[in-house]
Structure 1
Amino acid sequence: MEHVWLRGVAEQFGIAGGLRQLGGEYDLNFRGRTSEGDVIVKAMRPQGEPALVDQQCAAINHALATDPTLPLPRLLPAGGNRFWQNVPDAQGQQRMVWVQRAFTGIPMGEAGPQPPAVLAELGALTARLDLALRDFKVTAAPDAAKWDLTEAGWIKPHLDVLEGARRTLVAGIVAAFEALKPALDRLPRQTIHNDLNDFNILVQPRLGEPARISGLIDFGDMTDGPRVCEIAIAAAYAILDHETPEAALAALVAGYHDVSALSAEEIGLIWPLVRMRLAVSVVNSTIEAKGRPNDPYVTISQAPAWRLLENPAIDGELMGARLRNACGLPVTDAAGRIASWIAAQRGSFAPVLGRALDGLPVGSLGIAEATIPQNPFELRADEARNLGTGLGITQEWWLGQYGEPRLVYTDKAFRKGPWLASNRRTIHMAVDVFGPAGEPVRAPLASKVALAENRKGHLDYGGVVILEHRTPAGDIFHTLYGHLAADGAAKLKPGQEIAAGEAFAKLGPAEENGGWEPHLHFQLALTLDGMGHDWPGVADPDDWALWQAICPNPAALLNLPDETVAYQAIDEAALLIERKTRFGANLKLSYKKPVTFLRGWRHHLFDAMGRPYLDAYNNVPHVGHAHPRIRKVAMDQLARMNSNTRYLHPAPMALAQRLTAKLPKELEVCFFVNSGSEANELALRLARAASGGYDIVTPDHGYHGNTTGAIDISAYKFNKPNMGGRKPWVQLVDVADDYRGRFRRDDADRALHYAQQVDGALAAIAERGGKVAGFIAETFPSVGGQIIPPPGYLAAVYERIRAAGGICIADEVQTGLGRLGDYYFGFEQQGVQPDIVVLGKPLGNGHPIGALITTRAIAERFAEGPEYFSTFGGSNLSCRIAAEVLDIVEEEGLSANAKAMGDKLLAGMRALMDDYPCVGDVRGIGLFLGLELVTDRETLEPATDAAAHVMNRLREMRILVGREGPADNILKIRPPLTVGADDVEMILDRLRICLREVEAAR
């Protein structure tokens, strides 16, 4: 034992195996193990005050007596009536030592930023602790009064320890604190913990669900103070390095409020107090670091504290409204009165555009109704100038809706993070009135100009005016008028009064209004807190509840019913119920929380509220979602004809020429069908016709489609319950998995050993009196776990099958057409030439088409049977789309991109293995990749729950991946071939977070 002076304590409490020292600013903390579980040994600094320790123990026991389920330390009696004892340390100085049961879990500071659900739980537990301590009286105060937030002004004389901009920043925080100090001093006081920092809060990470708060520890800094100080201290550390600190703080405060209601005054103090606590932290750590330069404890939170304090994206003025809204309170005291007054006056306001608006057509630019813009990341100028035409609206006057999720806001300013799939603002917070440029714009009621300016940026407001209004009760609200003519706005002056119905501006032409089709953006705001005169006109869906409260539907000011211009979003809960009602229960949805997608572009999908997701899973949109060239070809062909294959047409011939040009010359005959399943079913027929046999050899856990014949050869399906199992004419061999399979990478002959299993399969066929028809395999097994067979495997297999008279079928649905980068088809990597190649869903980029290409000899044997016909297989439309897909792969360099991005992603994921032992293997070629999770790298125990956790967490982080393998422990990554370097960085960044969570939960 390193600290031999604690040996007696260890023996007294049955601690075996030594003590591990933990962190602490002044006192010593150790962890040890007993037969009844782990304990924490706390040794107070020398000359500590017994009254402080007695007080801590009494407070803990008091709180537990009041609320027994609080996650607080359970103290072990030290003898007599005390929970502590005096022990001389190595220097002979007396220390008070006490022992308590340890908690499961780790400090929140080690676990990393927590999701809102965990922070809400923390808020609720903080409230429960405050309630449990409110009638406990603090009689002994700690020496470190510097942590009493009500006295935080002590740092003001010490600001010279900071430099430059940081000193200025903290000086501003101190000034704000001094301004609120009288209000803080008026609040009721009670006993509070006073130090719920992220290392005094323990969390128990869990897979598949949020962590839970498992412990609140260290009562050594208890003091008497307002409960908002308790909230601010807990929040200050809990939101450090959080990607959305505002939402994190709101979740914590709402959790507290749900248990113990806060007043509006208290809520308004929380954010300034959070900042002041962090200011104290950075000033104190800077001072302490000068005297203890080698002690990491004193600076442990300094860097993240500065990152939060210096974060320019946090709008402090808006925080009060955000927290009030999170607690279910009006965003201002006057908000409810203003909204009620406006609603009561509906129908009596002066017409804003000099005419009645009821009866006008209502158009929708919503994601569910519109395809504007075609590229959701770039609104073209012609699209912005012709919104109505794009929607098929022919009238000059029409209305655009409030609360509508739109993709037309494509500038980077609308994005809230570094990635294309980061949160972006999409929800329109105004009503649009489209009409002719030059139409006068009038005040709906008596007003005063608050702002008038011309914002000339592309797709900005152009001329914009904000008017101030006052209700008879004296409550102030504002309206904004955007996309005005430049000259009208220029003539107005702040403070200028405008009468009800008075024209003060005109609708601007596109040249002056930011480049838009002429219209009025009409928006109402019940408060300017956090907005000033730079109003956001569009909200992040994740913040919609807040912005809906600040900027409600302005329909009443236009003398319209709210429902006339209120967007009706898809009811996703009802949609899910309807799906369960109308479809079979075994038609499954992806992810623990299903997601509704309405638009796609390249390698991104957009949900019903316009949130973007990085699609790293779907190999169907081979060249990207909604490719404009495919759309153009499809529209062109549908305008001509789409019929069956009994007639001559150049499209099937053109597709056949393109496909065979990429294949060995012997593979020259094509059959076009509607899917990979159909193509594999057809492949079985050809193999049987050509070989005269019936039996099939195939790797275990393979998947070849959903037709009856395809399922019969797909162990992934026929081994499931109620599927009847393996047919006698199907022989299984092992998947050539050299990571966890029978023959592994340390075996130089593993390819041959796997191939030799075919000998046993052929012998079994002979024993049952059968004859082999062929061997079929996904060239690189996907459902089997994104497997790359060892070199030489297929060559040895094909040799054996052909020697027995069988046909070799390569199922290239998952791997063909350039996905592998260096190889157009997977069989090329294996150095073999199949007799039949099968292609499926990627060939049509989502349009139903499959293909089978074979030799003339095999095709002729098949032709000796009955006529082959597929009504829609090889239709004019399908063939033109498929040919365009092949051209796009070639002309846009997508094979080269698959190699470059695949290599980058593969290298990045392999680098993660150094930090995260749960990653057992990373494998793949091009954009066909797998990451296998294990609980132990020696035993290779599959980490199935961990894989499910990572997949669902990535979905929460706006990245779609799949999960495969016999144990469902392999993350499947196979994005459209358009994926870029930034997307790869996002995947790696988010993966790192998820893997850290997995390790924390182990």
Structure 2
Amino acid sequence: MSTTPDLTALRELAAREWGLDPVDARDLGSNEDRNVLLTLADGGRRLLKVSHAGVSRAALEAQDAALARLAADPAVVAAVPRVHPTRAGTRIVPLGDGRHARVLDFLDGAPPIAASRLPEGMPATLGAIAGGVTAALAGLDHPGLESGAWDLRRAREVLDGAAAALGAEEHARLGALLESAGARIADVTGRLQVQAVHGDLTADNVLVDAEGAVTGIIDLGDVGLGWAVGEAAILACGLLQHDGPAVRDALDAVAAFDAIAPLTDEEVVALWPLVIARAVVLAAAGERVLADQPDNAYARARRPLEARMLERATSLGLDEAELLVRHALGRVPEPASRTFTPMIAGLAEAAEVDLSVTSPAYDAGAWLEAGTPRSALAAERGEAAGALSRYGERLLLPEAAGPGTPRSRLAGRAIAVSPGTPVVSPNGGVVTSAEGDALTVRIDYGPAVHVRGVVPRATAGTRVVAGEALARAAEGPDGTAVVLVWQSVLPDLAPPPRVAPGHDEAWEALCPDPAPLLGRVPANVASSRSPQALLDARDHAFARVQEHYYAAPPRIERGWRHHLLDTDGRGYLDMVNNVAILGHGESRIADAVARQLRLLNTNSRFHYEAVVAFSEELAARAPDGLDTVLLVNSGSEAVDLAIRIARAATGRTDILALTEAYHGWTVGADAISTSLGDNPGALESRPGWVHLLDAPNAYRGRHRGADAGRYLEDALVRLAELDGAGVELAGLVAEPIFGNGGGILLPDGYLAGLADAVHARGGIVVADEVQVSYGRLGAHFWGFEQQGVEPDVIAVAKAMGNGHPLGAVITTRAIAEAFAVEGSFFSSAGGSPVSCVVGSTVLRVLDEDGLQENARVMGDRLHAGLLGLCEHFPGLGAVHGMGLYLGVEVVAGGPDAPDPDGAREICEALLEEGVIVQPTGDHKNVLKIKPPLTIGEEAVARFLDALERVMVRRKAWAAL
């Protein structure tokens, strides 16, 4: 069996046939052809293409003719490579095994596909280029133009040719998708234009310059005959592999294509089915190539991206997709302005019910029950004729607890009525369908009106007049009746009653408010600020130094346990919020606060039970002897107060601290904070009374792995130096686990040895427990327990209030009394009745719900899963921490190559997966993972799956 020549042979071929002097040759990726980059002695570069055996010489000549046509057409704004003749004047050299070689220009630039997220505007640019190429090739006629393997007319042939590689189950699944797409276009295929097409004009096959402008079009190896609309479909499909709003990007590209090479109505019908067909073909061909060439790294890298294209292509129903395409092309009629008979009597003054994400109906996790919106509507109706949802409402549905974007936006209105309430035709028309609990009537010279939740009285094909009975409201299993009414201005296409958010302008045009059909005035839909409008307002009124997560953050307005929920009804798994230790929306805290606010909220100089009860409960959790509590409002205040207490108790001012640590934002807490991620100039700006020890970072620091014990030796040497300089320490302030470092554990015995040394010098040991306490570590309630240390002072906050501002200092009676030398201490809101009730309730719920044990069990599961991912992905370097305070290093080659850009990109990609994680550490390269302690097995699996998907795609992009 003949094989393609090795690189040495190909260099010799280039020298012999083309007279080139290549000093280097290297393979570039390709599914089937072989592309070799030749670097010449003068620095020039050429591309040597070796076609696979299935490509005829005539087909290669047709490719050359297409290149010449594109180069001569001024409407094609990007460059195309020239084909170089051999010494003998030919352009194609046979290799004797059915393959042929050619030499082309190697165009400078890089494909934008190298980035997982395309720049803004790139999809439309690609669409315009694809339209220009399609228009330029429209008249090309050449005997070598054939229907190639990528011709979408041959999609079934490609699929069946890969049957063995796919396996029976996957072959059947892909076949069903292809059959559905084929049935959709069966009536129009005979009217689709066939011409010469590029066949693969995607972001893979264009080049951009340093400014991001498209400069070149490459890889015309798939030039052949095919449907012209197939070029638009191929591009749209290719865009579905990228991060970001992929469907919107695909529609933008199609609209730009249409502006250059207008699509016929039949081509509009065919477009999205062909997107699906292209995705099926890519999936099938990819598996076949890997079966034939298991070592084909390029093909292997493509598979997860091809799977993503298919997933996204099939996320839309075919009617839904065509509606969005028609809107993107501006081919949507204005809704008819008519007078309608109300379909349901008595709704003119009916109440509109808030079913948005912030509706009280969803409190206490009620949104996880499928019937909550229905129940809320029915409850609001009472004895009235009906109650309606607001137009275009985003519902909060149980699906928000899982991955993906729920179809949360109502395309019309939901109406609660009495069971059996008549539903009549709003005008003359024809009933086009009546099946199950649904009915559609096409209004004369108007929209199609869709109704669900009814018992149809009319049958399909029946002509009706205004006011004629269509159906009656069906009684549900809960004894209520809810009717959905929506319309489509393109009456031959039926949108679903609920659609995914993100195409609001389209759905408002395609499915306008059905209020006129119900005897009501249409709503003003611009009643709430969009996430971007709110972000703009935030930047105007809220100091920007108070940063926000993400480049384009979702608008989060509700939380429940370990879920965060945006105003579109999408749920996000909260993996970063160690403040809300009990989770979000905890009703026991809400009830306790509401009760206490109705009774009293004042300051701790007054005498009331809550401050005593909470102080007793908090002291009972501390080691024996630490029996005295001071209450404040935050971790920064707690650390600041702890420093003051240490100074007052010792009569000294100097404090020992560790690098890479964050302690707070007050003057005192900031003075001992050295986290470069929070303050890049921290090490150069410490006051003279702060003395620093190297962070005992066993992963990236001076001493690593088994040598980490040497950090204590270094610390003792440093203390001796301070002794020699006459420095008398008031105390040590240290996190028992490096929180902002990503949960880095201190070497065993380090803190105990350091504490002994500080005590021997008359200093006080302060444990900064702000981030890692309250059972988050699972095996320990306090972080210092992991180090076998009993501090003199504990500073704690964050978890204490589950988001309510609450902090504390816990110490001995003697140390607290020594602080009195500075006078009395008072915090206006610290220790208020409300804060104390919150604090007591948090401790009670932690115990009642067994959340510390859950942190141990789920933390072990999460830690093991993350270690497994580190073994598979070199970009994940290590896992730090314990329990539910973990950190994952993102690196580009090991501990000494932290990868902050990679960490940021992973966090952005996880957001699209519905998971919220943020980077931390001095290099901002550690994924901090510290979810509410309510997280369960399903959520842990969801997070690990999401991170694996992101890493698989990153690996794929890196390999292209």
Q: Which residue of 2 aligns with 1:762?
A: 722
Equivalent runs, 1:329-728 vs 2, <5 Å: 329-330=331-332, 335-336=333-334, 339-340=335-336, 344-345=337-338, 348-355=339-346, 357-358=348-349, 360-368=350-358, 370-375=360-365, 377-379=367-369, 384-387=374-377, 398-407=387-396, 409-410=397-398, 412=399, 420-434=402-416, 440-446=422-428, 464=437, 466-471=439-444, 473=445, 475=446, 477-480=448-451, 482=453, 489=455, 493-494=459-460, 499-502=465-468, 512-515=475-478, 520-527=483-490, 531=494, 536-563=496-523, 566=525, 568-716=527-675, 725-728=685-688
Q: Which residue of 2 aligns with 1:222?
A: 223
1:674·1:873 contact (CA, 8 Å) conserved in 2?
yes
Q: Distance in 2 between matches of 1:442 and 1:563?
A: 22
The change in CA–CA distance for 1:661 and 1:380 in structure 2 (over 3 A counts) is farther
The change in CA–CA distance for 1:698 and 1:289 in structure 2 (over 3 A counts) is closer
Measured after TM superposition, the shift of residue 869 of structure 1 is 1.8
Measured after TM superposition, the shift of residue 683 of structure 1 is 0.7
Q: Which residue of 2 aligns with 1:191?
A: 196
Q: Which residue of 2 aligns with 1:798?
A: 755
Measured after TM superposition, the shift of residue 947 of structure 1 is 1.7
Equivalent runs, 1:917-936 vs 2, <5 Å: 917-936=874-893
What SS class does the counterpart of residue 929 from structure 1 fall into? strand
What amino acid is aligned across from residue 477 of structure 1 in structure 2? Answer: A
Measured after TM superposition, the shift of residue 256 of structure 1 is 2.5
What SS class does the counterpart of residue 231 from structure 2 fall into? helix
Q: Distance in 1 between matches of 2:280 and 2:531?
A: 44
The change in CA–CA distance for 1:265 and 1:889 in structure 2 (over 3 A counts) is same
What SS class does the counterpart of residue 799 from structure 2 fall into? helix
Q: 1:835-874: per-residue Cα shift (whole Å, max 9, x none)?
A: 1111112110011111111112211212344112222211
Q: Quick check: 165-174 or 587-596, which moved more? A: 165-174
Measured after TM superposition, the shift of residue 900 of structure 1 is 2.3
2:661·2:674 contact (CA, 8 Å) conserved in 1?
yes
Q: Quick check: 728-737 or 306-315, which moved more? A: 306-315
Q: Quick check: 740-749 or 240-249, which moved more? A: 240-249
Q: Quick check: 305-314 or 913-922, which moved more? A: 305-314
Identity in percent: 30
Q: Which residue of 2 aligns with 1:139?
A: 142
The change in CA–CA distance for 1:605 and 1:394 in structure 2 (over 3 A counts) is farther
Q: Which residue of 2 aligns with 1:319?
A: 321
What SS class does the counterpart of residue 649 from structure 2 fall into? helix
1:965 aligns with 2:938: no
What stretches of structure 2 of length at least 5 have no aligned partner?
Answer: none
Q: 1:315-363: per-residue Cα shift (whole Å, max 9, x none)?
A: 3344322322233322xxxx53xx12xxx32xx43344434614x5443
Q: Distance in 1 between matches of 2:316 and 2:786?
A: 51
Q: 1:617-638: per-residue Cα shift (whole Å, max 9, x none)?
A: 1111111001111112112222
What SS class does the counterpart of residue 745 from structure 2 fall into? coil
2:162·2:288 contact (CA, 8 Å) conserved in 1?
no
Q: Which residue of 2 aligns with 1:459?
A: none
The change in CA–CA distance for 1:757 and 1:584 in structure 2 (over 3 A counts) is farther
Q: Which residue of 1 aligns with 2:9?
A: 5
2:377·2:388 contact (CA, 8 Å) conserved in 1?
no
Equivalent runs, 1:904-983 vs 2, <5 Å: 904-937=861-894, 940-983=896-939
The change in CA–CA distance for 1:530 and 1:603 in structure 2 (over 3 A counts) is farther
**TM-score normalised to structure 1 length:** 0.83
1:60 aligns with 2:67: yes
Q: Distance in 1 between matches of 2:603 and 2:219?
A: 77
What stretches of structure 1 of length at least 5 have no aligned partner?
Answer: 455-463
The change in CA–CA distance for 1:847 and 1:469 in structure 2 (over 3 A counts) is same
The change in CA–CA distance for 1:593 and 1:668 in structure 2 (over 3 A counts) is same
What SS class does the counterpart of residue 871 from structure 2 fall into? coil
What SS class does the counterpart of residue 837 from structure 1 fall into? strand
Aligned residues: 945
Q: Distance in 1 between matches of 2:257 and 2:366?
A: 39
Q: Quick check: 541-550 or 950-959, which moved more? A: 541-550
Query: What's the Cα RMSD here?
Result: 4.5
What amino acid is aligned across from residue 101 of structure 1 in structure 2? Answer: F
What amino acid is aligned across from residue 962 of structure 1 in structure 2? Answer: Q
Measured after TM superposition, the shift of residue 735 of structure 1 is 1.6
The change in CA–CA distance for 1:671 and 1:65 in structure 2 (over 3 A counts) is farther
2:209·2:215 contact (CA, 8 Å) conserved in 1?
no
2:429·2:442 contact (CA, 8 Å) conserved in 1?
yes
Measured after TM superposition, the shift of residue 995 of structure 1 is 3.4
Q: Distance in 2 between matches of 1:258 and 1:150?
A: 25
The change in CA–CA distance for 1:979 and 1:574 in structure 2 (over 3 A counts) is same
2:25·2:36 contact (CA, 8 Å) conserved in 1?
no
Q: Distance in 2 between matches of 1:757 and 1:67?
A: 75
What amino acid is aligned across from residue 230 of structure 2 in structure 1? Answer: C
Q: Distance in 1 between matches of 2:286 and 2:804?
A: 62
Q: 1:822-842: per-residue Cα shift (whole Å, max 9, x none)?
A: 111111111111111111121
Q: Distance in 2 between matches of 1:620 and 1:404?
A: 31
Measured after TM superposition, the shift of residue 971 of structure 1 is 1.6
What SS class does the counterpart of residue 639 from structure 1 fall into? helix
Q: Distance in 1 between matches of 2:209 and 2:903?
A: 15
Measured after TM superposition, the shift of residue 517 of structure 1 is 5.9
Q: Distance in 1 between matches of 2:418 and 2:850?
A: 45
Q: Distance in 1 between matches of 2:909 and 2:931?
A: 18
What SS class does the counterpart of residue 922 from structure 1 fall into? strand
Q: Distance in 1 between matches of 2:680 and 2:169?
A: 67
Q: Which residue of 2 aligns with 1:123?
A: 127
1:737·1:789 contact (CA, 8 Å) conserved in 2?
yes
Equivalent runs, 1:711-860 vs 2, <5 Å: 711-716=670-675, 725-747=685-707, 749-756=709-716, 758-759=718-719, 762-763=722-723, 767=725, 771-860=728-817
1:944·1:969 contact (CA, 8 Å) conserved in 2?
yes
The change in CA–CA distance for 1:700 and 1:255 in structure 2 (over 3 A counts) is farther
**TM-score normalised to structure 2 length:** 0.86
Q: Distance in 2 between matches of 1:989 and 1:213?
A: 35
What SS class does the counterpart of residue 584 from structure 2 fall into? coil
What SS class does the counterpart of residue 747 from structure 1 fall into? helix
Q: Distance in 2 between matches of 1:597 and 1:809?
A: 36
Q: 1:287-326: per-residue Cα shift (whole Å, max 9, x none)?
A: 9999x79897999899968994999765334432232223
The change in CA–CA distance for 1:175 and 1:159 in structure 2 (over 3 A counts) is farther
Measured after TM superposition, the shift of residue 921 of structure 1 is 2.4
Q: Which residue of 1 aligns with 2:269?
A: 268
1:693·1:770 contact (CA, 8 Å) conserved in 2?
no
Q: Distance in 2 between matches of 1:742 and 1:17?
A: 41
The change in CA–CA distance for 1:281 and 1:860 in structure 2 (over 3 A counts) is closer
The change in CA–CA distance for 1:740 and 1:203 in structure 2 (over 3 A counts) is farther
